[in-house]
Structure 1
């Protein structure tokens, strides 16, 4: 594909996404969610608040609203672990008052196979209104973590961190550890880190199947190089193929943008990333409607 065609396609996809949000009734929670659902279809695009780590909670909330996504996975920068139950509840309400739905929290490191340590984070999640915790555990703690999952009815999703991760470089490493566990124990597939392990990310999603409870999405110019992260749509990540695979799987979780670059001013790049992703989804809808005729 020529550069001109590539740029033209990206502008077209962005225009599709922009049109979908031109009439957003921003004054209502329901309006934001209806607009997001209409634009995103079966794939629900959310925000990992780690992307906004250098912003205060209030500024992070405003940024997420500007992205017109109602779904957020909260990192401790915006909901500190040390908060008392009442403080955590107030933090939860701050997101909810802004029309945002907390779909998870983390990544949380679980480095001890001890009840007291694990309980601390499940209590944190409970008071924060998190239905899911993205975790970076030690493998030997997983049976104990599973017991807390059953006790609290809170899902956990193991986050893979690529070749540098001594426990879970890719999704398959986590699948081996959680085999036979409760279905509420699953994976948060970080697509960027997965690609850096040298596997096909679409095949990795297909293999993980129903164990995929959450997804962190980022783009890389070079799928082997961590430092090559870029605005989604400007790299080599097969975004369209990923979304098509998620539709085939009837994936019911969220695809949370984890934008790790431009930490002091992330919003412009995040907006462009969302525009591209929504454009891809809009294009898929058009193709599906034509195929149904």
Structure 2
């Protein structure tokens, strides 16, 4: 959330062109776009997450209308901001707020963002309000000094209500995750963070990695997305319409807030990371744009969360067949340097001299297909997944295409999701030491590469395409191979499954 208590509400911009939505939604089941109110009580489109909203998203409406719209959106959890629910510990005020929330079917789980300093009386008012309202956390922007944190240490233990330090992007007190980690180290486990994914993206931090670093100290999440503007022409057009504060962001950072799924946030990765830490608190969508009429945009944001949950939870994956048994190299053939490969904790792990392991089972060859591989790369590691290739005794495979695995490998700018040396990606989508799903779809002359459900490469081979010198990189048919790149690279592969297409 980019406004603390008392900050003005002019932080808005028009809805931006939905560049990526059509290709994203094409992989979502139609039911994901059904309005949540039409789903049966037994359905859970949010996969066990307590999906809610930061009421700042609805700041253009009085509280009664905001609550009504939340209910219509199928959301029953709120993190409130001060203009919707002013803070007061008067018993009559508390009673009125409780009745208002109960009448709307909304549970208030969190509140913020609230400033704290060393004033104990003022701080106790906040905690007294939180206790009276049954809050599970307080999103906070505490002053960075020892006296303030000593006070918070005492109060969170006394009230048993966590403080969730909220990041506000470049130039703010808590810009980077290390700013939070520095101040929570050695303190009560009830002092942690509210991870605002949009502001971390503005600060060039990966929200997935942020969640991994904070672990059990994550007490809140504000889901929002950010898109980097690379085109000077688009930037000039946007600067004509943006309000002053957004112009400043774009000029200084080259980024804008956007609808969830249209920017650079790895929504699937965020949800996976939250599950890994057993996050059980309010997952608050926060959409800061278009405050006078945000509802259709919020619907699209929520559809993206449901799409991400469905992708994460698609255990059946109808039509897919496992082509690695999880225990042996049966149906796979290693060429040079077999010592590069081992099987460990249910994964194929490569580390050593150049080597490739080829699928040589009965299902080969493959022409049109979908291949999904779960991958994890350690820091400064390079690897790859080949398709339409064929076994060769040594060297880099000359037949077929490589889909790149490289998050932080220094020597090669081609990042994860690249169709190597054919259609390259230069932006990092995945942090090191985290699992993701690399999904390759080949249909006719078209190749799509998805990283955690998001299309990062969409390539169509032109008619009459000539192969590169020394390589046979033409769409045809063949088998798959995993790459062991060099002794300094360690990459893990598991859950290798394929579906043949007509």
In structure 1, which of residues 268, 271, 281 is the aligned counterpart of residue 309 of structure 2? Answer: 281
Cα 1:149/1:234, change in 2 over 3 Å = same
Counterpart of 1:79 in structure 2 is 85
Q: 1:283 & 1:20 partners in 2: Cα distance? A: 18
What's the CA shift string for 1:100-146, capped at 9, x where partnerless?
Answer: 11111111111x21111111111222233322111111022111012
C-alpha displacement at 1:96, in angstroms? 2.1
Q: 1:14 & 1:264 partners in 2: Cα distance? A: 30
Cα 1:268/1:149, change in 2 over 3 Å = same
Counterpart of 2:130 in structure 1 is 125
Cα 1:144/1:59, change in 2 over 3 Å = same
Which structure has the larger Rg over C-alpha atoms? 2
Counterpart of 1:235 in structure 2 is 263
Higher normalized helix content (fraction of residues): 1
C-alpha displacement at 1:5, in angstroms? 8.5
In structure 2, which of residues 276, 281, 301 is the aligned counterpart of residue 248 of structure 1? Answer: 276
1:209 is the counterpart of 2:215: yes
Q: 1:222 & 1:5 partners in 2: Cα distance? A: 13
1:261 is the counterpart of 2:303: no
2:111 partner SS = strand
Cα 1:11/1:64, change in 2 over 3 Å = farther
Moved more, 219-228 or 208-217: 219-228
1:10 is the counterpart of 2:15: no
Counterpart of 1:151 in structure 2 is 158
C-alpha displacement at 1:89, in angstroms? 2.5
Higher normalized strand content (fraction of residues): 2
Counterpart of 2:144 in structure 1 is 139
1:189 is the counterpart of 2:195: yes
Contact 1:15 1:279 in 2 (8 A): no
- Structure with the larger RCO, 1 or 2 (CA within 8 Å, 6+ apart): 1
Cα 1:6/1:59, change in 2 over 3 Å = closer
C-alpha displacement at 1:24, in angstroms? 3.3
Contact 2:21 2:261 in 1 (8 A): no
Q: 1:4 & 1:231 partners in 2: Cα distance? A: 10
Cα 1:5/1:142, change in 2 over 3 Å = closer
Q: 1:14 & 1:269 partners in 2: Cα distance? A: 19
C-alpha displacement at 1:231, in angstroms? 1.1
Counterpart of 1:116 in structure 2 is 121
C-alpha displacement at 1:17, in angstroms? 1.8
Q: 1:265 & 1:102 partners in 2: Cα distance? A: 23
In structure 2, which of residues 66, 69, 79 is the aligned counterpart of residue 63 of structure 1? Answer: 69
Q: 2:19 & 2:291 partners in 1: Cα distance? A: 30
Cα 1:92/1:5, change in 2 over 3 Å = closer
In structure 1, which of residues 143, 146, 161 is the aligned counterpart of residue 168 of structure 2? Answer: 161
Q: 1:217 & 1:86 partners in 2: Cα distance? A: 33
1:158 partner SS = strand
What's the CA shift string for 1:55-90, capped at 9, x where partnerless?
Answer: 111001011112101111111111112463321232
1:170 is the counterpart of 2:185: no
Gaps in structure 2 of 5+ consecutive residues: 1-17, 230-248, 323-502
1:273 partner SS = helix
Cα 1:13/1:121, change in 2 over 3 Å = same
C-alpha displacement at 1:270, in angstroms? 0.7
Cα 1:193/1:213, change in 2 over 3 Å = same
2:127 partner SS = helix
Counterpart of 1:28 in structure 2 is none
Contact 2:81 2:112 in 1 (8 A): yes
Counterpart of 1:41 in structure 2 is 47
Q: 2:119 & 2:100 partners in 1: Cα distance? A: 32
